[in-house]
A = this chain, B = another copy of it.
Amino acid sequence: MDNASAVSRRSRATRQGGLVRDALAADDKFRSAQVVFGQLRSKGEAIGLSTVYRHLQALADSGDADTLQNAEGEALYRLCGSGEHHHHHLVCRQCGRTQEIEGRGVERWASEMAEEYGFTDVNHTIELVGLCNNCSG
């Protein structure tokens, strides 16, 4: 109803920006820029590919969207409720359903490993990909 909720403070509120955000908001699945573009176009929306990429990146930069890369190296996006809060994902490789998961233990393990081998400023990428209970039949 009101995707104007988080309107401009430093940037303009545009129709296209709303379209991209709405497309992601439709469900909690990860999708690629190309898919978002295709969905919007097939709904008859007038929007350019460049614009879709721009808004997706903006969302990712601002922390409003999560990002991950599929096996082909394609970037996938999803709206992220938890803001800055650090978390990981359990993604269904079939239907794309996504479960946010937490890993205190993993965070700890990563720090321990970093320390053990003298590494600093360590980032970790951790994604779990499998089949959800709907798709594993």
Contact = CB atoms under 8 A, between A and B. Distances in A.
A123 interface: yes
B126 A130 contact: no
A45 interface: no
A90 B126 contact: no
Contacts of A114: 90, 128, 130
Interface stretch (A7-15, A77-85, A100-108): A100-108
Number of copies: 2
B125 A119 contact: no
Interface string A99-137: 101010110011001100111111111111111110010
14 contacts: A90-B117, A99-B117, A101-B117, A103-B109, A105-B109, A109-B109, A118-B133, A120-B130, A120-B131, A121-B136, A122-B130, A123-B128, A124-B128, A125-B129
